[in-house]
Amino acid sequence: MSDHLTLSNANELIRIPAESLVYVASEGNYSDIYTRDREKRTVTMQLGAIEELIHKQFHTDGNLFVRIGKSLIVNMEFVHYINPAKKQIVLSDSHTFNFSLEASKEALRELKKYFEKEL
């Protein structure tokens, strides 16, 4: 088990603590990684490749991240607000950052149900 997501290529290596990774957004062949310090880091990896790394490096923590459609990977710890009708999901730690993102109604409806099951 690792508590960091480690991304490495020929030139650089990035380590991001699981609790600092807020979300990853797809930009085609690139991915933008957003962290709690409101920094954005762009990496030359597709979202699927990052999902695979998250799966392999964090999997024993369980249920920490969720892939939402083709464009987002979200840290579920920071899901603050979901409104499927508005296709809106807000990620926040209620203190330092607040990201408002858009996703499909159906996916957000499923995510809302997922959280409701945990009640």
Site for another protein, rule CB under 8 A: 46-49, 51-52, 54-55, 58-71, 73, 103-107, 110-111, 113-114
Residue 11 or 19: the one with the smaller Cβ distance to another protein is 19
3-state secondary structure 33-80: EEECCCCEEEECCCHHHHHHHHHHHHHHHCCCEEEECCCEEEEHHHEE
Least Cβ distance, residue 111 to another protein (angstroms): 5
In the bound complex, what is the minimum distance in angstroms from residue 52's beta carbon to another protein? Answer: 5
Nearer to another protein, 20 or 46 (CB): 46
Helix/strand/coil percentages in the chain, nearest 5: 30, 40, 30
Q: Which is nearer to another protein, 11 or 28 (CB)?
A: 28
Q: How far is the CB of 102 from another protein (least distance, A)?
A: 11
Question: 82: closest CA among 113, 51, 119?
Answer: 113
